[in-house]
Structure formats: C-alpha cells, structure tokens
C-alpha cells in the first residue's frame, strides 16, 4: 500500500474513526467531487500526430475553490492526481486557508517536446480545462515540470474562453504577470517555520544539526533559512551525491553554486566529504529533511535513519510501512500536509492580490506566512498533546474536523 491515494485514504479513515464519524461521512470525505480525463491530440513539428492523456482531479471544495498544481510527467494518471488532490484538501484545511484540493496534469515528458509543441499541447489542455475552472471554482498552479510561462499560456486559453481578464484563475504566474512576491522561497520558508515550532514543542533546542535529501528549490531554501536561524546543516544530497561537513556546510554558498548549474558532486570541491546520494539517510543528525521525491524512505532504508525528527517537504516521501517503523521507534515526523504548505499558502496570497488588486511586498508575504503557519502548527501541536497523537495523525484530525 504505497500509493499516495492509498496512504491518504488510509489516514482519512483512521482520523474519521478517531473522531467518531459515521461510515457515510468518512466515505463522503474520501470521494472526489470529480475527476476529468481528456485525450489531447498534438500535431508534432514533423507533421505526425501523438495523443496524450490529461487529467484534473477536483477532490474537495468545501472550504473554497479547488486548489492544486498541474504537472507534466510521464507517470501522471487518474490515481496519482486523485491521491495528490486528496492531500491538497487536507493541506489547505490544515493551513487554514479558504481553498480546497485539486491536482492535474498531462502524461508527457516535456523534454521530448520542442518549445512550439509544448505550447500547442499546453494550450490544448488549457482549452479543455477552461469550462471546469475559474477564480471562484478551481485555481490551478505549477507543479512538477510546469512553470510561470506554462501558466501564462493556460491563463490565455481560459481568458479567451471566459471573454474577460481573469488572472486569479491560475497562480504561480511570473511577478510581472500578476504573480506574488515571495513564492520562490515559500515552501522552504514554511518548512523552517513549522520545524522551528515543532523543535520547540519537542524541547530539541535551538541549534539542531540537519541533513537534507534533495537540494533543489525547496531543500536549498530550507538550508539557507535554517542556517540563518543558527541550525547546522551538516549534509545535503541531490541525485548525484551526498556532501558532508560535520562542522556545518555553507548552505547559502552551495545553493548559489548549484543555482548556476551543475551537480553537488561537481561543485563540492576537495574540502567536503562526498559520498553516495543515499548516505544522507544515515547521517547522525537531529533533523532529516526529505525534499526530493515521493516514497524515498522505504522499509529498506528506514532503519538507517538516526534523526529524532523527520521533515516531509516532498509529498508522501515516506511509505506507509516505513512510517509505521518510524512511529514504533519514537521518531517524530513533521507531516507534508503541514511542513510543505508554505507554497500553497503563498499561492492563496497571489489569488487574493489578483482579486483585490493589491500588491504585497516580499516582507508582507513573509510576515503573513509566518503568522499563518504559526497558527496552523499550534493547532496541530495542541491536538497532538491533547489526544496523545503523533503530528501526522494530529494534522489529519485538525483537517478532517474543518472539512466536516
């Protein structure tokens, strides 16, 4: 039982039972409002035609419009988007924003397409999606392999359909096209805010040692902002290697170097220890941050983990079986639905700014995010303390109570 959908459904069932909900109420929480499937024929540059499957899962709009990303990846299918949209409904509820859960995408590797083909495929998807979405109905955003430029093409298709300007239909736009300041670092920043609060509740001190799997956008911002709080980042990994310095890496410098291209293995230099990429799991540290891929921690590597707190920055980075092992060992997990909610919260701020015409500064956004996540983490910690639960179960309870 390792699919995101199975895990999310399992957690909702357990939470519903803890909260004494009826079987009907639990099944109503699990069932998506709808999942649409499109077939998109694309004329390639050489005149041949290829057909791509595309989906949008709208899980819940009980608290506000469906909200969640659109990814372009060969593994996209109906079950994956349904699982991810279910997690989004829980995430927006935990975060305390008036939005629901959605997710979608196209089963394609965009690297196989020319720029013109990518635009034609994106626009075909945007035209099909248009009748199902809108600022008050469903507000998609970028996700794996999609970005502000792709959101621009999709928005253009929606606006042609609606016959009006409607920038609040898509978030994750470039700042010049109505995007929000503060989106780039939002997920990493949110992870640090939540982790700091959980550390305090666990009495783990202010200067923990940290290892990070995945040094991309989320992992590198987590490292930089954690470092600013005095946390010692002793190992980071990417798909090429793990680099270590027991005295603390210079995370900001590494992130700048990585932003210029290149893998950690290439940029590490001779003064850092470089090992296999999966060594990151066994680093002796207080906090292990998972910021790479789903299902990274499995029954095969879970017993390597020495950290006291594991932070889920990727979605569903721990399989259900491995998660049970961590719980039995007394390792605490900062759940994805709380730890990585910073991104969707700032997407919500973008939507609010588009609807009101306001423009918030980077400082405004960071302050609002801090307050929002502080409140969300407090609710999770309080539920965990009152009902003697781990943070993941507590987070699901907080969300389910709001959704019913």
| Binding footprint of ligand NAD on the chain (CB under 6 A) | 144, 187, 213-219, 237-239, 277, 291-293, 313-315, 340, 343
**What is the C-alpha to C-alpha distance for residues 107 and 347, in angstroms, rounded to an integer?**
24
Nearest in space to 185 (alpha carbons), one of 151, 155, 150, 228: 228
Q: Shortest distance, CB of residue 20 to ligand NAD, whole angstroms?
A: 32
Q: Shortest distance, CB of residue 5 to ligand NAD, whole angstroms?
A: 16
Catalytic residue among 67, 103, 232, 258: 103
User: Is 86 within 8 Å of 8 (Cβ atoms)?
Assistant: yes
Nearer residue to ligand NAD within complex by CB, 105 or 214: 214
Nearer residue to ligand NAD within complex by CB, 60 or 237: 237
**What is the C-alpha to C-alpha distance for residues 264 and 242, in angstroms, rounded to an integer?**
7
Q: Shortest distance, CB of residue 400 to ligand NAD, whole angstroms?
A: 21
Q: Shortest distance, CB of residue 113 to ligand NAD, whole angstroms?
A: 19
For ligand NAD, which residue has the nearest CB? 216
Q: Is-catalytic flag, 136?
A: no
Nearer residue to ligand NAD within complex by CB, 92 or 315: 315
Structure tokens at 375: 């409140």
**What is the C-alpha to C-alpha distance for residues 178 and 158, in angstroms, rounded to an integer?**
15
Residue whose structure tokens are 């077939």: 39
Nearer residue to ligand NAD within complex by CB, 21 or 291: 291
Q: Shortest distance, CB of residue 4 to ligand NAD, whole angstroms?
A: 11
Nearer residue to ligand NAD within complex by CB, 218 or 381: 218
Structure tokens at 353: 């700014």
- Identify the H or E element spanning 104: strand 101-106
Q: Helices in 272-361 by DSSP H: which ranges? A: 320-328, 336-339, 342-356
Beta carbons within 8 Å of 308's beta carbon, 6+ residues apart = 202, 204, 286, 287, 331, 332
User: Is 402 within 8 Å of 93 (Cβ atoms)?
Assistant: yes
Q: Let me know how long the chain is.
A: 404
Q: Other C-beta atoms within 10 Å of 202: how many?
A: 14
Which residues belong to the active site? 103
């Amino acid at each position: 039982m390792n699919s995101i959908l199975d895990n999310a459904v399992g957690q909702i069932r357990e939470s519903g039972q803890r909260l004494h909900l009826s079987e009907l109420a639990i099944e109503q929480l699990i069932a998506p409002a709808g999942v649409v499937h499109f077939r998109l024929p694309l004329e390639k540059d050489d005149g041949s035609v290829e057909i791509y499957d595309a989906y949008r899962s709208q899980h819940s709009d009980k608290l506000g419009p469906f909200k969640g990303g659109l990814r372009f990846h060969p593994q996209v299918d109906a079950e994956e988007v349904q699982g991810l949209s279910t997690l989004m409904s829980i995430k927006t509820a935990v975060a305390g924003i008036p939005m629901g859960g959605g997710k979608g995408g196209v089963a394609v590797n965009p690297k196989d397409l020319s720029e013109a083909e990518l635009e034609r495929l994106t626009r075909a998807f945007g035209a099909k999606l248009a009748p199902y979405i809108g600022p008050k109905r469903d507000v998609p955003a970028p996700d794996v392999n999609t970005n502000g430029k792709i959101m621009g093409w999709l928005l253009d298709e929606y606006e042609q359909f609606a016959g009006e300007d409607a920038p609040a239909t898509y978030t994750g736009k470039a700042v010049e096209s109505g995007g929000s300041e503060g989106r780039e670092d939002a997920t990493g920043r949110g992870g640090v805010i939540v982790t700091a609060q959980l550390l305090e509740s666990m009495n783990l001190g202010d200067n923990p040692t940290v290892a990070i799997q995945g040094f991309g956008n989320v992992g590198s911002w987590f490292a930089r902002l954690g470092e600013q709080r005095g946390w010692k980042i002793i190992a980071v990994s990417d798909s090429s290697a793990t680099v270590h310095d027991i005295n603390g890496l210079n995370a900001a410098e590494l992130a700048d170097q990585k932003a210029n291209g290149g893998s950690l293995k290439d940029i590490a230099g001779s003064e850092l220890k470089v090992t296999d990429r999966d060594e990151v799991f066994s680093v002796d540290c207080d906090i292990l941050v998972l910021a790479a891929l789903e299902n990274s921690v499995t029954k095969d590597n879970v017993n390597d983990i020495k950290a006291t707190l594991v932070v889920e920055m990727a979605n569903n980075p721990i399989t259900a079986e491995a998660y049970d092992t961590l719980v039995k060992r007394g390792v605490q997990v900062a759940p994805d639905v709380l730890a990585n909610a910073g991104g969707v919260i700032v997407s919500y701020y973008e939507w609010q700014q588009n609807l009101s015409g306001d423009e918030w500064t980077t400082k405004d956004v960071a302050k609002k995010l801090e307050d929002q996540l502080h409140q969300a983490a407090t609710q999770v910690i309080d539920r965990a303390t009152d009902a003697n639960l781990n943070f993941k179960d507590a987070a699901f309870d907080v969300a389910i109570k709001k959704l019913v």
